[in-house]
Structure 1
Amino acid sequence: MNIPYTHNKQIWKLLLFIFAAAIAIASLVYTNYLVESLSKSERTKAEVWAMSTKSIMTMPDVDDDFISFIYAVRDSLTLPAIITDKEGNIIFWRDLDSTKTNIKSDDSLNSRLQYDPGYFQKELQAMKRAHDPITLNLENGEQWKIYYKESKALQNLRVFPYIQLSLIALFLVIAYSVFNSIKKAEQNLVWVGMAKEAAHQLGTPISSLMGWIEVIKLKYNSDDEVIHEMERDVNRLETVADRFSKIGSKPVLTNHNVYEVIQDFVNYFKIRTSEKISFILKGDTHVEAMLNVPLFEWIIENLLKNAVNAIDKEGTITISIKENIAKEEIFIDISDTGKGIPKANFDTIFQPGFTTRQRGWGLGLSLTKRMVQYHNGHIFVKESEIGKGTTFRIVLKSNLNYEPAQI
């Protein structure tokens, strides 16, 4: 199960996504309404321009003031447009590229203005694709067709909401990343403080226990196996306290034989586990890596405990060590014959707060992943099958030329 913090986090993410989607939809709907309104207005402008042009061409004897008024109306309507006759020949145009519509003839003796046919045909085809033509029937039986395209303002308005939403999305991503980083930094400070305080609190009783064990040794048989195991457990407590005291600082990594470090811990761990669970350690015995032994043992401990919890009654835990010489890497595979992990949870299990146990905190694998990263390595679920078991793989560098990360 997930603890409430993780559940609430998912709900907030969903609510933020729904809110952002609502803003996007509302912006697109409203912009589409404005575009449709302006599109109708521009078609009306094209019709008015065509009618005014028709009036100028077909009413040459009317009052000069009226003609001036018609010219003023026509010239006030700024919209790229072309008028053709019924054969498709271009008669008039307006608001096209002046560098293409007026070109001087190469003949300097016969200097006159002419238009670029290629440019006009290209614009005409674009206008035909954009809108249905406006048809005007003249009194002399001729027929005009008016083609037009959207103004720059309308074209920009169509694109504007997508630019706006992109900028909003970018802002939200940056804001979320910043706040998430601040929140994680605050959480890390809390965890570091708690860990160091736990280590400090454990120090006094551990010292007392070590003293009492020495008293028991003097009073009873110091070679007794029970006393020896008690001493190992107290030393183990001291190691655990040392682990917590190192959180927040840069761990010291030294060269160690990986097989021997794992073997020492498995020997300690297996006698404190059910006899129905068997442990197998195999692979390359000579490989070495830069390790902080207490932290590395913590990694192995968490994975072995998870493996034990995954096995209901009896089963096998196998630890395989293999060196990839070509990539200077060491593969450490820890496999169990437990209940397995669904594929959907392969990445989720490493997130803080995720657990399938009723009383779990969901921090074990999260801490394990961080500690593997302290060793400049990475961990992942190599394979898992429900009812058959799971294999975790740790990948470490076998070369010695790298700096440890900060805990």
Structure 2
Amino acid sequence: MLKSFDIYNQNNILKIIVALNLLLVGTGSLLYTNRLITRLEAREEQYVQLYAKSIGYLFGSSQANAGDLTFVTDEILKANKTIPAIYVDPNGQLGGALNVDIPEEYNAEQREKLLRQRIVEMRDRHPPLVVDLGNNERGLVYYTNSSLLRQLTYFPYALLAILTALGVLAYLSFSASRRAEQNRVWVGLAKETAHQLGTPMSSLMAWVEYMRSDPDQYDGSITDEIEKDVRRLETITARFSSIGSVPTLKEENLNEVVRQFTDYLSKRISTKVKMSVASQLPAGQTVKINRLLFEWVIENICKNAVDAMKGTGELRLTMQTLPNRSVAIDIADTGKGISKKNMQKVFNPGFSTKKRGWGLGLTLAKRIVEEYHNGRLYVKSSEVGKGTTFRIVLNNS
């Protein structure tokens, strides 16, 4: 059974190291910050407990002397300058508030309403502290975290968001750099291939002319076919030479382009594959394409289909106009089909189900259609064991 492979789907050690470092930094920061928050919360609770005890001392002890009262008011009550707290006496009346922002223009009724709302919010955050006033009377002190502690609470999440953003940017940078490097390699390889093909093609053309000079010995039909193949090599060379540069598009009769190329191709694929072309396009329908590159797309898809059928089956090309005035070309085969798990991978660079092959044919075809012709290439339908239909959509505007 053939297994699919992807020559680019390999672990990038540098990406893993960066990701692990970001994860360690984020986790360490989160744990350390949570530890600080826990300690600060305990410290602020101690401040509030001290505040509650001081209220009990002031209002519940009849033995307090003036010096003690001065100490309580100056050293304890005034020590809390950051923690919002509200005291409610045993009768449920507001007894005082610390560090609660109240607009100066508020009257007594508005002030009390605001403090009652704050009490509800504080109660949801922390249970109130009980103030023992003696004689079985108890008041309550409601409090919440200081603004500093609240800011510190959100800090680790902000830090994680920043680290995540940095991680995403790092990943995108690595990916972009890798794609750019791959593109440079393929462009260089393509141009070098085109250059290397030049010498043998010149030699082949010379041999064709030599054979034609002696028609008694060499069959003219054979030399004609050889010349066609040489011209074909020239076309392939021109394609490779154009990789990496913006192609020139011009209006072409789509019927003629497809039929002429499929006529050539049908003689060079398996004789057990029946190829047919059906067109519903209006006579003279033109589309703006680069002929050399567009024929390459048709060739790649058709050869991929022949491989999928293992050299035996039916290959159908259907051309039609769509409601939005676009032109669609469906290329259907009776091959083995594509599984659902591979449906999204067929256009990935390096993906192939063949033992031999680079898995670049459909990738190049998709790039030519979508990047150079502003069209679409996708799998219209596929059923395992029955065949696949690829659709090319070209805008006709």
Question: Structure 1 length as normaliser, TM-score?
Answer: 0.88
2:47 aligned with 1:31, yes or no? no
2:182 aligned with 1:187, yes or no? yes
Of 25-34 and 184-193, more deviation after overlay is shown by: 25-34
User: Residue 18 and residue 241 in structure 1: after superposition, are their counterparts in 2 closer, same or farther (change >3 A)?
Assistant: same
Map 1:8-407 onto structure 2 (within 5 A).
8-9=11-12, 20-59=22-61, 62-71=64-73, 72-77=75-80, 78-99=82-103, 103=106, 116-220=111-215, 224-285=220-281, 286=283, 287-324=285-322, 326-372=323-369, 373-399=371-397
How many residues are matched? 388
Output the amino acid matched with 1:269.
L
Deviations 1:358-404 (A, max 9, x none): 222121111111111211212111111111111111111112xxxxx
Output the amino acid matched with 1:123.
R
2:3 aligned with 1:5, yes or no? no
- For residues 280 and 238 of structure 1, the distance between their equivalents in structure 2, rounded to whole angstroms, comes to 26
Aligned-residue sequence identity (percent) comes to: 38
- For residues 245 and 264 of structure 1, the distance between their equivalents in structure 2, rounded to whole angstroms, comes to 23
Of 293-302 and 218-227, more deviation after overlay is shown by: 218-227
Deviations 1:215-273 (A, max 9, x none): 11221357633222211111101110111111122212111111211111111111111
SS in 2 for 1:331: strand
SS in 2 for 1:5: coil
- For residues 380 and 228 of structure 2, the distance between their equivalents in structure 1, rounded to whole angstroms, comes to 33
Q: How far apart are 1:2 and its partner, in Å?
A: 2.4
Q: Is the 8 A contact 1:340 1:387 kept in 2?
A: yes
Of 31-40 and 157-166, more deviation after overlay is shown by: 31-40
User: Residue 194 and residue 312 in structure 1: after superposition, are their counterparts in 2 closer, same or farther (change >3 A)?
Assistant: closer
Deviations 1:313-334 (A, max 9, x none): 521111111112x423111111
Q: Is the 8 A contact 2:15 2:171 kept in 1?
A: no
- For residues 252 and 163 of structure 2, the distance between their equivalents in structure 1, rounded to whole angstroms, comes to 51
Q: Is the 8 A contact 1:278 1:315 kept in 2?
A: yes
SS in 2 for 1:7: coil
Q: How far apart are 1:184 and its partner, in Å?
A: 2.4
Output the amino acid matched with 2:29.
S
Q: Give the aligned partner of residue 109 of structure 1.
A: none
Question: Structure 2 length as normaliser, TM-score?
Answer: 0.90
Q: Is the 8 A contact 1:259 1:284 kept in 2?
A: no
- For residues 278 and 17 of structure 2, the distance between their equivalents in structure 1, rounded to whole angstroms, comes to 50
Q: CA RMSD in A?
A: 2.3
SS in 1 for 2:377: strand
Output the amino acid matched with 1:388.
K
Deviations 1:67-94 (A, max 9, x none): 3322212211231111213443222221
User: Residue 258 and residue 209 in structure 1: after superposition, are their counterparts in 2 closer, same or farther (change >3 A)?
Assistant: same
- For residues 156 and 310 of structure 2, the distance between their equivalents in structure 1, rounded to whole angstroms, comes to 57
Output the amino acid matched with 1:370.
R
Q: Is the 8 A contact 1:83 1:92 kept in 2?
A: yes
Of 15-24 and 293-302, more deviation after overlay is shown by: 15-24
Q: Is the 8 A contact 2:317 2:332 kept in 1?
A: yes
Q: Is the 8 A contact 1:86 1:145 kept in 2?
A: yes
Q: Give the aligned partner of residue 403 of structure 1.
A: none
SS in 1 for 2:134: coil
Q: Give the aligned partner of residue 110 of structure 1.
A: none
Q: Is the 8 A contact 1:82 1:146 kept in 2?
A: yes
SS in 2 for 1:334: strand
- For residues 213 and 142 of structure 1, the distance between their equivalents in structure 2, rounded to whole angstroms, comes to 116
